[in-house]
Amino acid sequence: MTHGPEAKDELRHLPVINGRVARSSIRTDGQRVRVDPADTRGRFIRARRVVFVILIVAWILLPLIPIGGHPALFLDVDTRRFYVLGQVFNAQDTWLVFFLVTGAGFGLVYTTALLGRWWCGWACPQTVFLESFYRPIQRLVMGPREARLRLRARGGPAVFARRLLTHALYGVASVVVAHIFVGYFVSLPKLWAMMHEHPGAHATTFAWMLALSLLFYVDFGIFREQFCVVLCPYGRLQSVLLDDDSLVVGYDDARGEPRGKGKTKAAGRGDCVDCGRCVVVCPTGIDIRNGLQIDCIACAQCVDACDEIMDKLGRAPGLVRYDSLRGLRGEARRILRPRMVVYTGFLIAGIVAATLGFRKHEAFEANLLRLPGAPFTRDEGRIRNGFEIHLVNKSARPESFHVAPEEGAKETFIVPIADVTLEPLASQRLPVFVTVPQADFTHDHPIRLVIARGGPRPEKRVLSATFLGAR
Ligand code: SF4
Ligand code: SF4
């Protein structure tokens, strides 16, 4: 919040909730209100830090650790090959992205109905990067909130120099984050090699890295909570995704009100001592005591802040807590409710469809196709059909294949290339000629070929086509 002469004007333009001037990072006239959250201590901030470290380590390791000879996650846009945990996908598999996108979207809808905005407060990259890299930089150079406010009020060249340093470090952090991000598309070892060459040698990659660095700098260094409050579509959908039984961060109005300052509790007063700690720690600058607001990212910093105050006052924690709106009203929270039953039905249907879809993603593709031109030819008393096998190795490692007629076949098969080894996602066309003596031909009939993949995971597949001829 602004301090000084602009404060009055700012208050005039803040939204009013339940007759109170509400805290917000945006005024009713659209102006941004500066948010400078204070640090918190407590069980939730500790747990979140652990989660953030795990997520960041996973994010760094995914393009580094090899699975099946390739990075665990490598979206090779150059060759349009996508390596995901040992599986390789190509452009023909993009239909599977439908399951990934809808699955992630619906998973978020489902878990939001149950657990509220767990994603925003605990796992969203906006929160994870901001809280893990950028705010610590700000704290390191400018000090904690009170020191920052003092410095800002004082101004002068020394403060300017500190702010410059802060933003320079934001820039460095943004470049590092952008490099790892780009590593997902060119692989980290290749990126490392590129970094030792002139930027002009890899102009496109370099341009992407610069653009992403700028984007991250503006977002995490300047835009910050405005992304959650103004831009994020998931945040905008909260009013339809949440209901009275979803888990939210809320203030126990019945217990806290009427609020009043002072350590000793006067008769008839609630537990809230109106210290404002829950407000100053809020990264989106709201006052949770005004009720659930769309700006709340459920980070639980106000929970830790209030618990600390309650602890100092010798009162029970949980005046601000994770609970459902129903629970905050003193009623029992329902997990199983019509919305969850319908969602669970959709979830099961989605899982079944996705499982079937991914099972269709075969380790190799083999199709027996008739050669273009005449359907059959006659040659020295024999009828001849020409085919070709279109073979694609869709696994992440080189594979060997062997082509042979099915056992007991009456036709004569000529397979010029019976054995072939293909690199990942490589394909080859293998000609196959089938002949039948004219005298033995009675009618069109099916023919069968067996294609066998060797190696540690052998697999056989029978390909069939129709042998055509005339008597
Ligand atoms: S109100 Fe509490 S939980 Fe919501 S964003 Fe602010 S500090 Fe986080
Ligand atoms: S931190 Fe707790 S006691 Fe202090 S103002 Fe917020 S709700 Fe009231």
Examine the domain organization and report whether 271 and 402 are in the same domain: no
Which secondary-structure segment (H or E) carries 121? none
| Tens digits of residue pLDDT in 335-353 | 889 999 999 999 999 888 8
Tally of CB atoms within 10 A around 450: 15
Tell me which residue of 128, 145, 135, 139 sits closest to 49, measured CA to CA.
Answer: 128
Q: Name, in order, each residue with C-beta under 8 angstroms of 51's C-beta and a sequence gap of 6 or more.
A: 122, 123
Examine the domain organization and report whether 147 and 259 are in the same domain: yes
**The last residue of a domain, from among 319, 346, 361:** 361
| Tens digits of residue pLDDT in 281-325 | 999 999 999 999 989 999 999 999 999 999 999 999 999 999 999
* Cα–Cα dist 65/72, whole Å: 6
In the chain, what percentage of residues exceed pLDDT 70? 97
Which range of residues forms the domain containing residue 401?
364-467
User: Is residue 423 a part of any domain in this protein?
Assistant: yes
Residue 88 confidence (pLDDT)? 82
* Cα–Cα dist 161/300, whole Å: 33
Mutate to test the pocket of ligand 1, among 286, 287, 308, 321 (most ligand atoms within 8 A of CB): 286
| Tens digits of residue pLDDT in 372-389 | 999 999 988 999 999 999
Examine the domain organization and report whether 236 and 380 are in the same domain: no
Examine the domain organization and report whether 148 and 203 are in the same domain: yes
User: Is residue 20 a part of any domain in this protein?
Assistant: no
Residue 277 Cα to ligand 2 middle (Å): 6
* Cα–Cα dist 362/235, whole Å: 38
User: Is residue 12 a part of any domain in this protein?
Assistant: no
One digit per residue, the tens of pLDDT, for the chain of length 471 reads: 445 555 666 666 777 777 777 778 888 888 888 999 999 999 999 999 999 999 999 999 999 998 877 889 999 888 788 888 888 887 777 778 888 888 888 999 999 999 999 999 999 999 999 999 999 999 999 999 999 999 999 999 999 999 999 999 999 999 999 999 999 998 888 899 999 999 999 999 999 999 999 999 999 999 999 999 999 999 888 888 999 999 999 999 999 999 988 878 788 899 999 999 999 999 999 999 999 998 999 999 999 999 999 999 999 999 999 999 999 999 998 888 999 999 999 999 988 888 887 777 778 889 999 999 999 999 889 999 999 999 998 887 889 999 999 998 999 999 999 999 998 888 899 999 999 999 999 999 999 999 999 888 789 999 999 999 988
Examine the domain organization and report whether 297 and 416 are in the same domain: no
Residue 109 Cα to ligand 1 middle (Å): 20
Query: Which atom of ligand 2 is closest in space to residue 277's alpha carbon?
Result: 1
**The last residue of a domain, from among 361, 380, 402:** 361
User: Is residue 154 a part of any domain in this protein?
Assistant: yes
- Which residue minimizes the CA distance to atom 8 of ligand 1? 299
Residue 249 Cα to ligand 1 middle (Å): 7
Residue 19 Cα to ligand 2 middle (Å): 19
Examine the domain organization and report whether 413 and 355 are in the same domain: no
User: Is residue 58 a part of any domain in this protein?
Assistant: yes
Examine the domain organization and report whether 142 and 168 are in the same domain: yes
- Which residue minimizes the CA distance to atom 7 of ligand 2? 272
Examine the domain organization and report whether 415 and 266 are in the same domain: no
DSSP-assigned states of every residue in 298-314:
---HHHHHHHHHHHHHT
**Residue whose pair of structure tokens reads 């341009």 in the numeric block:** 207
Query: Which atom of ligand 1 is closest in space to residue 301's alpha carbon?
Result: 7
Examine the domain organization and report whether 345 and 378 are in the same domain: no
Residue 376 confidence (pLDDT)? 94
* Cα–Cα dist 235/295, whole Å: 8
CATH at 449: 2.60.40.10
Q: How many residues does the chain have?
A: 471
Examine the domain organization and report whether 306 and 373 are in the same domain: no
User: Is residue 267 a part of any domain in this protein?
Assistant: yes
Residue list, ligand 2 pocket, CB within 6 Å:
251, 256, 272-278, 289, 305-306, 309, 319-320
Examine the domain organization and report whether 395 and 355 are in the same domain: no
User: Is residue 19 a part of any domain in this protein?
Assistant: no
- Which residue minimizes the CA distance to atom 4 of ligand 1? 296
Total number of domains constituting the chain: 2
User: Is residue 302 a part of any domain in this protein?
Assistant: yes
Residue 355 confidence (pLDDT)? 84
Residue 6 confidence (pLDDT)? 57
* Cα–Cα dist 285/86, whole Å: 44
* Cα–Cα dist 301/7, whole Å: 25
**The last residue of a domain, from among 346, 361, 376:** 361
**Residue whose pair of structure tokens reads 């050669």 in the numeric block:** 371
* Cα–Cα dist 77/154, whole Å: 51
Residue 11 confidence (pLDDT)? 64
Examine the domain organization and report whether 378 and 335 are in the same domain: no
